[in-house]
Structure 1
Amino acid sequence: MLLEKVKQILRESDSQRKASGENFNIFFAANIWRKETTICRVLKEIIDVRGSNPVANICLKLFCGEVLQIDVDKEAVEKAVIVREKQIKNNRRIDLFLNIDNKAIPIEVKIYAEDQAEQCADYYEYAVNSPLYYLTLDCHEPSPESKRALTDEQIICISFRDHILFWLDKCLDNSDVKRIISVSTILKQLRAVIVYMTSQEGDKDIMDISNEICLSRENYRAAKAIEISLITVRIQMMKKVFGELSKHMEALRGKGLNCEQILTYETKKLVEPYYEQRKNTLPCIDYVFEEGKYTFRFEIWDNFYFGICKWNDEAKWNAEITADEQSLFKKGKYWQDNNDGSSQSWYWWKYCFNKERQCNFRSCDGEYEKLFDENGFKEKMEELFSVVDECLAKIGLINP
């Protein structure tokens, strides 16, 4: 009964938002809501006292206090310099770089992109009297490969879900900000995007659902059980996806696939801590080939991707790839031109789904929700298998 009532509340809310025009949002209309570069540009313009926002000084002071947890005075705010995509060594770029009150503050923004090797460690070198701030949807930590030896004092995890939403609410509560309609409208639309990205419902929805839960002890117990069960549900879904993938890959042995299957996500117990401890444990399945030299790996960071890594048989994990090895690999038969990236850990990697149809296993929203419908699950798996089979045939691991 409680679930049915909640579904009814959400259906009515969706209808009301559409009728009121609340769903008319430039971020969604232009399909730029999930792009890190766009979000960073907007954040920078909101807090840049040298930019176009006439109340940037108010927004910046609130940003320092509510997001970065530092206290700055009016004079420091007026002299602040905000840089977007500050270029550093190795042609890397820090998403947001704030110079204020004798501090140099690097902020790395991760919405759907994956970490790069030593990325956070490199960025921290440019911090002065400040930690590196790592801004994600849900406050998860960076990968060990990116973080390296950084301590908890040197890198602070912040989130859109908590810190940025709370900051935006503080800005929208300010009378001087409210008075500038163009600014307050953008802040409201950005807030709506973040609510959507972090799988939260609107304030009224939450209140209506809360009131329904408070009607009885039975409703409260049901809601509490659902809350506890969600992590288990997500663990089960990740394992279900890996299970279907494993079945499909085993069926490809009839097409010549000759790889040792290692269910790494099980042998190293990588799924449970991914959700229970919010660790980036990199749950994966490996298909080791060419006498243990390489692995064709399927891995989850936030999104799902696959590619070829150098295999370390002793550690049952991928080994670091040197520049010479990468150069040589590009000339070989296993190179895939149509890829989405490479790193010290990957000769190449490629998303399992179209970039606009990613299943994000961290935020668990959007396309991910389709996995809980029978037809939706089948559709996503068929999309994955199609991409994988085409790639395997191109590099000669299966027959066309």
Structure 2
Amino acid sequence: MTINFLIQEISGIHNKNELIKRKTGGYYNIFEIAGIATDEVKMCRVIYDLINPKGRHSQGNTYLKLFIEHVLKLHIPLLENVQVYRELLIEKNRRIDLFIEAKGYKIPIEVKINARDQENQCEDYAKVALNSNVYYLTKFGTMPSTYSSKDQNIVTPISFAHDILLWLKKCLEQSDTIKLAPIREVLLQLIVVIKKFTGQMEDENQMDIKTVLTSSPESMKSAFAIEQSLSVIKLDKLKSIFNEIEKRIGKEKLQNEYDWEFNNYKRHNTYYSSKSYTYPGISYPYKTNIRPGIDIWFRIELEDYIFAGFVVANNGKLEDQKLTEKEIKKCLPHIVPKIDSYWAYWEYLPNDEDAPNFKYPEENDLYFKLYDDRYYENFINECIKKINMIFNS
């Protein structure tokens, strides 16, 4: 089967299944619509309500028991007076995402979907734990960096990809849950978004495509040729965007380890192949020596989406936030601080509604539109408008 014929057949499969999804409501997922899917804060609210015996589900401690058994893998005999907290405030103004307190147990849980580690974060959480490690919940159960905890033995990694999905399926198996349509549908939709952002979603579309690709040696040979070309094409698009933004900004950027070209394009070249985020970007000096060694850079960066704003550098390093909100307001009087790790303020490019997802392009069609020349030119123009607005306000 030739490559052209293979593409035509797969395109036909995709169009057919897309039509079916539209007619059956398969694209309607409240977690994606509300932007909850990969937002740590909002996702914690959902998990918190499910494991909270006083949650709106009115199922008592049923889901909490399953969470303790299948996610935390602990045996806690007495759960009558258990307390569940969200964003529990502790010393150093730390906020623990989720915290479970039962007789003889205090269990801190840190949730990281996309956010970065903070300095000594897990070590500080361990100080309030009792008969428990710090549970570190990530997409794939990765350990925190030594920046968060030099002692890795105090941390137990758990994952959305396995542990949370297993727990949600156990919740769905409960007879009362099956009878309660609102709760059942929420759990099913939550499972779908987690499968999507952990790369486990296999729908009718993928199954049909598998059938075509494995139908003959020639089909597989063509598929391999497409796969090899696709990885290059995606990186070429990123390179084109970074080059175009640099050219149109026309200022001298900072040559440092956070630049997309540094070390023979390492951050750029490993963006798609790395399980963790590489954060390729471009940085420009903005204000220097706010405090000894503390500078503010204007930065364009790629995570899932491209965004731009102001970061706080400590001796040339992007680490935990070193400025207070009051100091940021004084240095950047034209913005309302949006503090996230080393970020003082950021906005999606070109805006919230039109930001393509580069890491998971199937989330919306905006990424694919970048391969239309007219759309791509407009995308770059709108990005530059937003950059100039933030930088020059």
TM range (shorter): 0.7 to 0.9
Structure 1: give runs of 5+ residues left out of the alignment: 251-256, 395-400
Deviates more, 1:111-120 or 1:4-13: 111-120
Question: Which position in structure 2 is the counterpart of 1:307?
Answer: 310
Return the alpha-carbon distance in structure 1 between the equivalents of residues 195 and 30 of structure 2: 15
For 2:185, what is the secondary structure of its paired residue?
helix
Shift of residue 260, structure 1, vs aligned partner: 4.6
Contact 2:38 2:114 in 1 (8 A): yes
For 2:334, what is the secondary structure of its paired residue?
coil
Question: Which position in structure 2 is the counterpart of 1:398?
Answer: none
Shift of residue 386, structure 1, vs aligned partner: 0.8
Identical-residue share of aligned pairs (%): 30
The answer as to 2:383 corresponding to 1:384 is yes
Distance 1:115 1:54, change over 3 A: same
> For residue 67 of structure 2, what is the amino acid of its counterpart?
F
Distance 1:355 1:103, change over 3 A: farther
Contact 1:138 1:363 in 2 (8 A): no
Distance 1:181 1:136, change over 3 A: same
For 2:215, what is the secondary structure of its paired residue?
coil
Question: Which position in structure 2 is the counterpart of 1:5?
Answer: 9
Contact 1:295 1:318 in 2 (8 A): no
Q: How many pairs are equivalent?
A: 376
What does 1:319-358 correspond to in 2, within 5 Å?
323=323, 330-332=329-331, 335-342=332-339, 345-346=342-343, 348-353=344-349, 354-358=351-355
Return the alpha-carbon distance in structure 2 between the equivalents of residues 187 and 322 of structure 1: 39
Return the alpha-carbon distance in structure 2 between the equivalents of residues 276 and 86 of structure 1: 36
For 1:10, what is the secondary structure of its paired residue?
helix
Deviates more, 1:23-32 or 1:349-358: 23-32
Question: Which position in structure 2 is the counterpart of 1:397?
Answer: none
Question: Which position in structure 2 is the counterpart of 1:132?
Answer: 134
Shift of residue 186, structure 1, vs aligned partner: 1.8
Question: Which position in structure 1 is the counterpart of 2:157?
Answer: 156
For 2:152, what is the secondary structure of its paired residue?
coil
The counterpart of 1:53, out of the listed 27, 46, 57, is: 57
Question: Which position in structure 1 is the counterpart of 2:292?
Answer: none
For 1:386, what is the secondary structure of its paired residue?
helix
Distance 1:296 1:212, change over 3 A: same
Q: TM-score, normalised by structure 1?
A: 0.74
Distance 1:205 1:288, change over 3 A: same
Deviations 1:30-80 (A, max 9, x none): 665565444322222223334343556553344344444x1436x455554
Q: TM-score, normalised by structure 2?
A: 0.75
Shift of residue 320, structure 1, vs aligned partner: 7.7
The answer as to 2:242 corresponding to 1:249 is no
Contact 2:53 2:61 in 1 (8 A): yes
How much is the aligned-residue C-alpha RMSD, in angstroms?
A: 4.0
Distance 1:72 1:236, change over 3 A: farther
Return the alpha-carbon distance in structure 2 between the equivalents of residues 356 and 112 of structure 1: 20
Return the alpha-carbon distance in structure 2 between the equivalents of residues 98 and 53 of structure 1: 18
What does 1:272-287 correspond to in 2, within 5 Å?
272-287=269-284
For 1:186, what is the secondary structure of its paired residue?
helix
> For residue 168 of structure 1, what is the amino acid of its counterpart?
L
Deviations 1:70-107 (A, max 9, x none): 1436x455554322222223433222223358443322
Distance 1:211 1:142, change over 3 A: same
Structure 2: give runs of 5+ residues left out of the alignment: 290-294
The answer as to 2:24 corresponding to 1:20 is yes
Shift of residue 297, structure 1, vs aligned partner: 2.8
Contact 1:114 1:302 in 2 (8 A): no
The counterpart of 2:111, out of the listed 106, 109, 112, is: 109
Deviates more, 1:224-233 or 1:127-136: 224-233
For 2:260, what is the secondary structure of its paired residue?
helix
The counterpart of 1:42, out of the listed 43, 46, 70, is: 46
Contact 1:140 1:279 in 2 (8 A): no
> For residue 239 of structure 2, what is the amino acid of its counterpart?
K
Deviates more, 1:382-391 or 1:176-185: 176-185
